[in-house]
Each structure stands twice: as C-alpha cells, then as structure tokens.
Amino acid sequence: MFNVKLALKYFLKKPISWLATLAVAISVFVVLVVMTVMHGLVVDYINKTHATVGDVIVYSDSLVGFPYYDRLLGEIDKQNFVEAASPVIKSFAMLSVAGGNRGLGVNLVGIEASSYNQVTEFKSSLYRKIDNDKIFTPYFDSKKSGCIRGILIMNSKNYQGKFTHNPLIFEKLILTCFPLSYKGTLLKAASGIVDSKSYYVANDSDTGLASVDSSTIYIPFTDAQMLCGMDSTIKRASAIYIKIKQGESLGECVDKISQLVQRMKEQNENDKFSMLLRNVRVEDWKTYKRESIAPMEKEQAMLTALFLLIALVTVFVIFVVFFMLVHHKLRDIGILRSVGISVFKINGLFLLFATMIAIAGTTIGALGGWFFLRYINNLEGWLFREFGWQLWNRTIYDIGEIPHDIQTEVLCVIIICSLVASLLGAFFPVFNVSRRDPVKLLSVDQ
Amino acid sequence: MSKVLLQTKSLSKSYKMGATRLKVLNEIDIAVKYGEFVTIVGASGSGKSTLLHLLGALDKPDSGKVLFQEEDLSKLSSSALNRYRNSKVGFVFQFYHLINELNVLENILMPAMAYCSAIQWLRVGGKYKKKAMELIEKLGLQDRAKHKPYQLSGGERQRVAIGRALINSPALLLADEPTGNLDWSRGQEILSIFSQLHQQGQTIVMVTHDQRVAQKADRSIVLSDGRITE
Ligand SMILES: Nc1ncnc2c1ncn2[C@@H]1O[C@H](COP(=O)(O)OP(=O)(O)OP(=O)(O)O)[C@@H](O)[C@H]1O
Ligand SMILES: [Mg+2]
C-alpha cells in the first residue's frame, strides 16, 4: 500500500524516472525496428530463393544433363510424399534482339509449364497474369513461339522499385545455343539440329531476385532440350525440381529420393550412358542454393551477434540508469530504514518502481516501434521525395518495400529481455544498498 | 525512583581513518528514566550524534550494549530491530530528512502506513489520519498539510519531522540538534514543543550545544573526548 504509493510518486514526480523510461523505450524501439527490418529482409530473400526451385532437387552439374529422367520422374511422381515434380533444362544461351544488340549471355531454362508451376511459384512471378497452358503464347500472335524473360533483362527499376517502363512484350528475341552430344562434344548445326531460334516475348518474370531476373530466359522444355542437344541419341534433362507434401520431413524425403536415384544408377550401371548418371545428385533447396543463401545466412548470424552486442549495451544502459536512480535515492532509503521499514519492503518498493518504468518504457518503445514500422515505407518515400535519399536504393536492392511485419516471437523476446534487464538493473543496486546501516545512507549529501 | 527506560553499558564506537582508529565513544554508561528530559551537550565532534544514532539503532557499536526496557538491542532480530526503530523510538534529525515526494500529512503518516498492508490500512488508517491531523494542529501546521517539504521553511520542516517521530507514540523521542539549523525564535518554537511533550510525560533525549536549551532539561550529559564528564 505504502510501497505502491511511494513508487507511484517516484515514478510520476521525478524527471529522472521519465528519463529512465525514455532510455528503456528507445532501447526497445531500436532493437524492435532493426530486428524486424533485418529479419524481414533475410527471410524474404530466402523465401524468394526457395520459391524458384521447389523443395528437393535432383540434378546433374554437367551441361550435358542426365538420361532416364522421364523414368525417374515417373518413379518420383508415384511417391506418396511428393506433391509434384517437374523436369528442367538449364544451360546457357546467347541472346540477340532482332534489330538490336547482339550476344548477351543468358541462363536458359527450359520448363514444362504446368508441372513447373506446381513445384515453384513461377506463375506468381509473371508480370502479365495468364493461364498455365498459354504461358508461352505471345500476347499479340498466338501462333508464334514465345519465351518468358527475366524482367531485369532490358529493363530496370526506379526508386520505388517499379519498372522504368512497361515490359516490351512485343519484342522478338533470338536465342543461340551450343548443343552438346551425350559425350559432351559440340553438335554441328549441319547435322540438322537447330541451334538458333526466334521467340517473341510472351511475358516477364519478376521473382524478386535480381541475380535471377537479370539473367534468365525461360522457354518450353522441349525447345530447350532441342536447342541444347539434349534430345540427341538419348533424351536428357538437367534437373528435376520436386515439391513435397506439407508436413513431410525434408531430410527424409531427400533420403528417399536419393534411394530412387541410387537404384536408377545401379540398374543402368553397365550401359554406355552410365557415366552421365554418376554426376546426378539429390539435395534439398537450401543445399542446392547454398551459394546464394549462405552469405545471407552468414549475414544474419553476424547481425544476430551484433544484436547480442547491442542488446548487451542496452541491458547495460538500463542497468546504469537504475543504478543511478537508486543512488539518487540513497537518502530516502536511509530515511525509510530509520523509521523501521524492512530491507525487504524497500527492495520491493524499488522493484515496483523499476517495474513501472520497465512497463511504461517497454510499452512506449514497442508502440513507437510498431507505429514507426507501420509508416516506415511512407517515411522512406517522403525522405526520397524531399531529400533524394533512400535507405535501400531500389535500383540496386531487390525489395518492394521495407519489411515491417513485427514477428511475435521477436517482440516477446524483446519485451521479456527489457523487463528482466530493468528488474535486474534495479535489484542489484537496491539489494546492495538497502542493507547498509541507516546512518551511512543518511550521511550522503542529497 | 522511577524505572530506567534506556541504558548503555560500556558503549564504544570508533571510525577507521586510514591506518589509525578514531575513537569517538569510549565506554559510555548512561541511563535515561521514564519521563526524563535529558540533553547531551558537548563540543562539535565530541560524538553526540554518534551516541544518539546508537541509541536509535541506526548504527552498531563496536562494543558495549544499549538496553531498552532491559532488552539488549544487539540481540534483536532484524524485524524486531525494525519494530524498535518504527514504534519504540522516534528520531528527529538535524537535517529533517523528509521525503520530498510526500506531502506533510504523508510524511507524518509514513512510519504508520509502512507497517500496514492495504487491508489493515483500511481498518486503522482513519485512526492514524485523525492522530496525524491532531499532531499537525499541535505543531501549528494546519495550513500546510498538503504542502511538499520544499514548500516549507526550515522550522516547519523540523515540525513535520517531529510529527513523524511521534505518530507511533514512541516511548522515547531522540532529537539531534533539532534547532541547529533554525534562527533563535524558530528554535524557541521547537523547544517549547519539546517542553510541552516533556510535560505530557514524553521521555526525551536531545543533542544540543546550546547551553540555554540544556537548562530546560532535567539533566545534561556532557560529552568530551568520547567520555562523559557531567
Ligand atoms: N562515518 C564516519 N567516518 C569517520 N569518522 C566519522 C564518521 N562519522 C563521524 N565521524 C567522526 O566522529 C566524530 C564524532 O562525530 P559526531 O557526528 O558524533 O560529532 P557531533 O558531536 O555530533 O558533532 P556536531 O556537534 O558537529 O554535530 C567526528 O570527529 C567525526 O569526524
Ligand atoms: Mg552532530
């Protein structure tokens, strides 16, 4: 009763407690905002990467590809943990624009539209929304062959992350490939295999990953197979992307598919294509994309470490604030002790006081963070309009808007840490001081 | 011959000053009887405050003991010691030592309130409030009940401190130069309060170095060099 009353008075009447509240609030605010944004960026990048390849990938890192993929695909499709699987051709091509520049090197990806769309989120990356079966149909002439172009090829983004011009879907592109025999030698064009083909741009793909969107051309699977020579002697593919059913363990699925691949390798051990099978691997999406994910994850680990440091500093600041607060009140503690109030009650009084500051500070900080994150994109836009300054330059960084969804777990951890830090920060100095003889406390000049 | 309320036995206290020890109190033996008004006088630095702090259990002696109603303070548990400070003695400091966040009434009520839970306070709060208002009236602070310490003069603050010391009706009132910081007429006001209390039977031990004050008391104890010279 008395405790509550005095704690409340301390809390409401003292500028130093407002300062302490502010210190707690700022700490909570900063940690919440930066954690949310950074976490959002990393998670967004990893999700986008995942969205381009499915869950499990069977692939050969040879440009020649691997045979019997259709049989393997049949086996994989029969597995009850598999949602969908899609064969993919991956190679390189030279891109020329009819009447324009020549010889742009691109990644060529051959896909089977319907299964590919089941495995990946490719369809939602398309700039012009369209049905599966018309995915490669040029907009203005359905009889011509069409391709899908990474949206950053021949296009760029403005500061808002919008494309500088509408994609030119009437453009005609010429793709030139280097078809390879199953032995890995170049096939001659004279042998009757087409190595060059024209396409009209049917659509643009905006996966949100700059490295993909600036270098990839998608064409129908069979076209790619032909252009790359993968239909010569024996039909081949570069990879099979697999989506597993929800709730299945990724690791177990990789193991099971590995067994299928192993069996296929054994069955064909003695035929002349067996060496092509030797390069075939099975990996989950994280391993398959580790080259692009690992740096991001490294960055996240580093950020987490940095944040531990910031959190440590924050806890220290809170500790110091409470230490000063308690020492600011030494005389009062002496007075309370001299009229016979127990150490226990005095500790309780200050812990209550600290709790008030902690709760007020944390609430203000969290609300402030929430409000700031809610308007962070407006703020960034305003800064750009007024001062031409952009936090993440959208012509370089591949983010639509700054992430601003507060993670509940992150919020809870921050709140708990802030409360604990405040209470510990108050407890140690109070505990240390309140046991002294009253005379020692009263003799301080305050 | 009335009974002894408070007694010290070979009470000694020293402070460490670097390598040497400064002996402030040297085997002090005093006795205070019920209803007595005793002053402790002596030169500055003679150990008056130190002695009073030991009597009020605000500090611990190096050796010797303080007996209050024949109980040795050093043998009390910490909660009994708290109770002693809270309701057996009332302490008036030279520098008032009020809590700035609380107003006059709250400062006076503080020792009573701190010993009650919220529920107990509902029961006894009214009684204490009435008593506090009586004290406020007696101390001439009627118009000041809602004021904060910083809005009061030194004499008024000292009166609040006296009110706080009296709220739990202690058997013994200890005062350390209660007029030390006040001008003569303010000091007189405070002293007349003490005289009145004494007349009503309050046992008082007061530190002072004003000889005129000492004359009003039943008896003076003179301290010099850590000893009683009487
Ligand atoms: N905490 C301490 N540490 C060291 N020495 C102290 C301490 N407290 C008091 N002293 C010393 O003890 C001696 C007695 O101090 P005390 O305060 O009891 O004197 P006093 O008689 O009350 O003086 P005054 O009339 O000036 O108030 C002084 O010499 C003082 O310097
Ligand atoms: Mg003194």
Place of tokens 């305003």: A382
Instruction: Evaluate if residue B194 carries a pLDDT over 60.
Output: yes
Atom of ligand 1 nearest to the CA of A439: 1
Residues of B in contact with A343 (CB under 8 A): 78
Instruction: Look at residue A193 in the predicted model and tell me its pLDDT.
Output: 52
Determine the residue among B58, B87, B115 to mutate to test chain A binding: the one whose Cβ has the most chain A Cβ atoms within 10 Å. Answer: B58
Distance CA A147, CA A197 (A): 11
Q: How large a percentage of chain A has pLDDT more than 70? A: 92
Ion ligand 2: residue ranges with CB closer than 5 A: B 49
Atom of ligand 1 nearest to the CA of B48: 21
Instruction: Look at residue A194 in the predicted model and tell me its pLDDT.
Output: 53
**Residues lining ligand 1, judged by CB closer than 6 Å?**
B 15, 22, 24, 42, 44-50, 209
Residues of B in contact with A446 (CB under 8 A): none
**Nearest residue to A357 (alpha-carbon basis) of A21, A26, A25:** A21
Looking at CA atoms only, how far is residue B58 from chain A in angstroms? Answer: 5
Interface contact B98-A337, CB threshold 8 A: no
Instruction: Evaluate if residue A143 carries a pLDDT over 60.
Output: yes
Average pLDDT over residues A282-299: 86
Take atom 7 of ligand 1 and give the residue whose Cα is closest: B15
What does the pLDDT look like over A146-197, one tens digit per residue? Answer: 899 888 887 776 666 667 666 556 778 888 888 888 887 777 655 555 578 8
Interface contact A335-B82, CB threshold 8 A: no
| Chain B CB within 8 Å of residue A444 CB | no
Average pLDDT over residues B174-192: 86
- Whole-Å CA distances, B140 to A379, B95, B108, B163, B165: 61, 20, 14, 11, 16
SS3 of A355-378: the string is: HHHHHHHHHHHHHHHHHHHHCHHH
Contact between A346 and A431 under an 8 Å Cβ cutoff? The reply is no
**Choice between B72 and A392, residue whose per-residue pLDDT is larger:** B72
| Chain A CB within 8 Å of residue B149 CB | no
Instruction: Evaluate if residue A338 carries a pLDDT over 90.
Output: yes
Tell me the pTM.
0.75
Instruction: Look at residue A208 in the predicted model and tell me its pLDDT.
Output: 82
**Choice between A362 and A164, residue whose per-residue pLDDT is larger:** A362
Distance CA A138, CA A135 (A): 8
Looking at CA atoms only, how far is residue B115 from chain A in angstroms? Answer: 7
CB pairs under 8 A between A and B: 74
What does the pLDDT look like over B146-164, one tens digit per residue? Answer: 999 999 998 899 999 999 9
Instruction: Look at residue A333 in the predicted model and tell me its pLDDT.
Output: 92
CATH of the domain at B151: 3.40.50.300
Average pLDDT over residues B50-56: 95
Nearest CB neighbour to B101, from listed A9, A331, A339:
A9
Distance CA B43, CA A77 (A): 103
Take atom 24 of ligand 1 and give the residue whose Cα is closest: B44
Report how many domains make up chain B: 1
Instruction: Look at residue B210 in the predicted model and tell me its pLDDT.
Output: 78
Range in A150-164, A212-226, A352-366 the model is least confident about:
A150-164
Contact between A220 and A100 under an 8 Å Cβ cutoff? The reply is no
Nearest CB neighbour to A1, from listed B82, B111, B118:
B118
Highest-pLDDT range among A203-217, A283-297, A370-384, B87-101: B87-101
The Å distance, Cα B50 to ligand 1 centre, comes to 7
Domain extent for B189: 4-228
Ligand nearest to the CA of A442: 1
Distance CA A403, CA A41 (A): 6
Distance CA A213, CA A98 (A): 21
Instruction: Look at residue B102 in the predicted model and tell me its pLDDT.
Output: 92
Instruction: Look at residue B67 in the predicted model and tell me its pLDDT.
Output: 96
Residues of A in contact with B121 (CB under 8 A): 1
Nearest CA in chain B to A337: B82
Average pLDDT over residues A337-360: 91
**Choice between A323 and B10, residue whose per-residue pLDDT is larger:** B10
| Chain A CB within 8 Å of residue B117 CB | yes
The Å distance, Cα A435 to ligand 2 centre, comes to 23
Take atom 4 of ligand 1 and give the residue whose Cα is closest: B15
**Choice between A230 and A101, residue whose per-residue pLDDT is larger:** A230
Instruction: Evaluate if residue A331 carries a pLDDT over 60.
Output: yes
Instruction: Look at residue A363 in the predicted model and tell me its pLDDT.
Output: 95
Nearest CA in chain A to B113: A2
Interface contact A339-B164, CB threshold 8 A: yes
Average pLDDT over residues B161-174: 95
Average pLDDT over residues A395-400: 65
Contact between A18 and A389 under an 8 Å Cβ cutoff? The reply is no
What six digits make up the tokens of A279?
A: 């390069």
Instruction: Evaluate if residue A432 carries a pLDDT over 70.
Output: yes
Interface contact B114-A438, CB threshold 8 A: no
Q: Which residues of B116-131 are buried (b: 16+ CB within 10 A; e: fewer)?
A: beeeebeeebeebbeb
What six digits make up the tokens of B7?
A: 């007694």
Query: Domain locations in chain A?
Result: 2-46+293-441, 61-279
| Chain A CB within 8 Å of residue B59 CB | yes
Average pLDDT over residues A58-69: 90
Range in A167-181, A229-243, B136-150, B155-169 the model is least confident about:
A167-181
Instruction: Look at residue A158 in the predicted model and tell me its pLDDT.
Output: 67
Q: How confident is the model at residue A446 (pLDDT cuts 50, 70, 90)?
A: low
